[in-house]
Amino acid sequence: MSVFGKIMSAIFGHASGAPATVPSSSGAPSAPAAPKPATAQAPAPAPAPAPSSSTPVDVADVLTKLAAKNKEKLDWRHSIVDLMKLLNLDSSLAARQELATELHYTGNKSDSATMNIWLHKQVMQKLAENGGKVPDELRK
């Protein structure tokens, strides 16, 4: 799964209250687990609805709640490193460079400060484009 896919999955998964679905590395959804035999009395529960454009995920709310539960003070509103840490994702330079490649960063990937600022804005913009409700100040 792409680095951005992991970010989006982590945020949208927390919003639904259910574990996020993780597609296989090929990008295709993984096969569902074998169903348990159903009894006549207990039908299988319906799956949680996926985020859609009609019900946007409040990204700031999800991240604020995660930050409140985290013992480390992370500035996810300004830092791509802290955002990734908050989501329990690899925030190493190599992971951020991979994210930069995914998002078509054309700057110098060795200039991590400039790249990090660009990445944070791009991630917020991409979250908004993919069903997230992201405040304007996080996309600028």
* Per-residue pLDDT tens over the stretch 17-58: 544 443 333 444 444 444 444 444 444 443 344 444 457 899
Structure tokens at 43: 């039908």
Q: How far is 89 from 103, CA to CA, in rounded Å?
A: 17
Question: What span, in angstroms and rounded, lies between the C-alpha atoms of 9 and 50?
Answer: 11
Q: For the segment 99-125, what is each residue's pLDDT rounded down to a tens digit?
A: 999 999 999 999 999 999 999 999 999
Prediction pTM value: 0.72
The amino acid present at 22, given as its one-letter code, is V
Q: Phi/psi of residue 66, each to 5°?
A: -65, -40
Give ∠ CA 63-79-54 in degrees, rounded to 5: 40
Angle between helix axes 112-129 and 59-69 (nearest 10 degrees) is 120
Instruction: Give the pLDDT band of residue 66 (cuts 50, 70, 90).
Output: very high
Contact 35, 130 (CB under 8 A): no
